[in-house]
A and B are shown apart, each in its own frame.
Chain A
Amino acid sequence: MSEIPAKAPQGHIEVRSFSLSYDSIEGPVQAVTDTQIHVKPGEFVSIVGPSGCGKSTLLNAVAGFLKPTTGIVTVDGERVSGPSAERGMVFQQYSLFPWKTVRENVEFGLKMRGMPRSQRERAARTLLGLAGLEAFEKHYPEKLSGGMKQRVGIVRALATGPKVLLLDEPFGALDAQTRVIMQQILTNMWQRLKISVLFVTHDIDEAIFLSDRVYCMTARPGSIKAEIPIPLERPRQQSMMMSSEFLALRRGLMSLIREESLKAMGGEINDLGMRGLNIELHGQSLAEVL
């Protein structure tokens, strides 16, 4: 057991002919349908899409919290059948254990693995040092700012040396400045650890800035609408977000998502009496009509 986890480029995620539906009183509801995605070892991949498109559902299936209705999820060829420490996860709500100090939170995964106390304390201190949090090791999470909480959340997920890091809109609740810093921290950690990352967000800039590749999902039932490689060179700087290359990618993704968002809303608007407004969709997207 290494104290500072994982260097080997592992963590090949594959999701094949994936669909997921759940039962409701009106019959089965398709959340995600006919989806294939993959993340190569050491790759940083984002999923963007309109809200409610099932991107979190997909991520939860990779984490092992949800079983696919059809299809298969594998990591390094092994079928995912439930949550495991091999796939670290970072949640939007931070989800730190309020009754554990910062260090105990980070130690949790190591404790579950049966690592002796003194050893895991040392490991946790090293990791907290990397994230600039060693001064807060004895604090309870409640006392930390959102950015610090999420840094603890990331460090905790990385402590056990997972093959894959899954992040579910991790910076969604943070203010703009903190978010930018957190993106930088995440990039640094990812480059140092060479870990595969699957990142769910609705923030297009964030997705482009962080990723090697971005999947764009359709409105519900979600499927992959487009796969966009991000050829921006690394290391990436904030200034790149003003480059024409970045802006072109942004424009492209933006219009893809806008289309889907309108489609998602179009259904609702229609239900609410779009016809009263004398607009008929005729199977077109609302974007085209407007």
Chain B
Amino acid sequence: MSSPAILRHPEDSMPATAIAETGPEPVATPPSFGTLALRWYRLNRSGLRAIAIGITSLLAFLLVWHLLTTYRVVFFVRFTNVPSPLAVYASFIKAIHDPKFLMHIVLSCRRILVGFSLAAIIGVPLGLVMGRFKLVHEVIFPVAEVLRPIPAIAWVPMAIMLWPTNEQSIVYITFLGSFFPILVNTLHGMTLVDPVLVRAAQCLGARERSIFREVYFPASLPHIFTGLTVGMGVAWVSLIAAEMISGQYGIGYFTWEAYSLVQYADIALGMIAIGVLGLGSSLLIRGAGQLVMPWRAK
């Protein structure tokens, strides 16, 4: 495939329609910047549309928020004390110059990093092994099924008893939140591995270890990454709850403390920070997934 051919082809074959569509202006000689930009626009039209609509709806959200708070609307829900977007922006500017706020964020991120990584390091291999070896599955699955429905928040008192420091119990709760989605999805991925691929590997001379590494593992990767994405979401949910209840630092604690100190703008700031951090971490996982699974790229 030579790119010049691709570039030239539409020019040669359909100048008439191109003129008709672009309006009165005649077509520039070689592909000019204008035609290229137009072509790029046509190819990416639907994506651009989505971005434009997305930005508009975010702006509309801000506007509604602004109006509701400046007019202190009370209609079932009371917006009397809700901070306005501008107030939140002001406290954001103040906060980014405040080392304490940054420390809250750094600490939360560190807890997520440790808790989530542990969950992935234990959950993924365990899921793989459970999917491959029936006995391991039969032994571990019932226990996992009993523990799984317990929300991480319900573990808070137990975690405080179990672990010597507050920090450890918070990390433990974060770990628990992400562990089960990772384990269950990995296991699910293993059950969906196409047995024909395993047979294909076998009659190419692959033995157990190679089949595990070359077939089961890559075949399960899409589901593993689903598990990691879901797990990351639940990790943040669990972390924030744990920080609000038992923490001294962290963005969840910051949000709760703002309420106690009647710093209303900081409540919204904390919430938005949590949202942005959650979004960022799931984007990171998606990016990692695309790196690890190039065959799934479009």
Interface residues of A (CB under 8 A from B): 63-65, 82-85, 87-89, 91, 93, 95-100, 108-109, 112-113, 140, 142, 156-157, 160
Tell me whether B57 is interfacial, beta carbon within 8 Å.
no
- Point out the residues of chain A lying under 8 angstroms from B203, CB to CB: 63-64, 83-85, 87-89, 157
- Listed by A's residue number, 18 A-B pairs whose Cβ atoms lie within 8 Å are A63-B203, A88-B203, A89-B199, A89-B200, A91-B199, A91-B200, A95-B199, A97-B218, A99-B218, A99-B293, A100-B295, A108-B204, A108-B214, A112-B210, A140-B294, A156-B204, A157-B204, A160-B205
**Whole-angstrom CA separation of A63 from B205 in the bound complex:** 12
Question: Which listed residue, B194, B205, B215, touches A85 by the CB 8 Å rule?
Answer: B205
Supply 7 further A-B pairs (C-beta < 8 A) apart from A89-B203, A108-B201, A157-B204.
A65-B202, A85-B204, A88-B204, A89-B199, A93-B196, A95-B196, A99-B218
Instruction: From B205, B221, B295, name the one whose CB has the most chain A CB atoms within 10 angstroms.
Output: B205
Closest to B295 in A: A140
Tell me whether B271 is interfacial, beta carbon within 8 Å.
no
- Using A97-B214, A99-B221 as known contacts, say yes or no to A65 and B295 having CB atoms under 8 A apart: no
Interface size class of B (residues with CB under 8 A): 20 to 34
**Whole-angstrom CA separation of A83 from B214 in the bound complex:** 17
**Whole-angstrom CA separation of A85 from B205 in the bound complex:** 5
Question: Which listed residue, B194, B214, B295, touches A95 by the CB 8 Å rule?
Answer: B194
A83 adjacent to B199 (CB under 8 Å) = yes
Question: Which listed residue, B196, B215, B295, touches A91 by the CB 8 Å rule?
Answer: B196
**Whole-angstrom CA separation of A91 from B199 in the bound complex:** 10
Tell me whether B197 is interfacial, beta carbon within 8 Å.
yes
Question: Which listed residue, B202, B205, B215, touches A113 by the CB 8 Å rule?
Answer: B205
Question: Which listed residue, B199, B205, B219, touches A99 by the CB 8 Å rule?
Answer: B219
A160 adjacent to B204 (CB under 8 Å) = yes
Tell me whether B87 is interfacial, beta carbon within 8 Å.
no
- Point out the residues of chain B lying under 8 angstroms from A91, CB to CB: 196, 199-200
B222 nearest CB across to chain A (Å)? 10
Closest to B200 in A: A95
Closest to A85 in B: B205
Interface members, chain B 178-229 (any A CB < 8 Å): 194, 196-197, 199-207, 210, 214-215, 218-219, 221
- Using A89-B200, A99-B219 as known contacts, say yes or no to A84 and B295 having CB atoms under 8 A apart: no
Instruction: From B200, B206, B214, B294, name the one whose CB has the most chain A CB atoms within 10 angstroms.
Output: B200
Instruction: From B194, B204, B215, B293, name the one whose CB has the most chain A CB atoms within 10 angstroms.
Output: B204
- Point out the residues of chain A lying under 8 angstroms from B199, CB to CB: 63, 65, 83, 89, 91, 95
The interface bits of chain B over 261-298 (1 if a CB of A lies within 8 angstroms of the residue's CB, else 0) are 00000000000000000000000000000000111000
Closest to A64 in B: B203
B212 nearest CB across to chain A (Å)? 13
B234 nearest CB across to chain A (Å)? 27
A99 adjacent to B295 (CB under 8 Å) = yes
Closest to A88 in B: B203
- Point out the residues of chain B lying under 8 angstroms from A85, CB to CB: 203-205
**Whole-angstrom CA separation of A96 from B196 in the bound complex:** 9
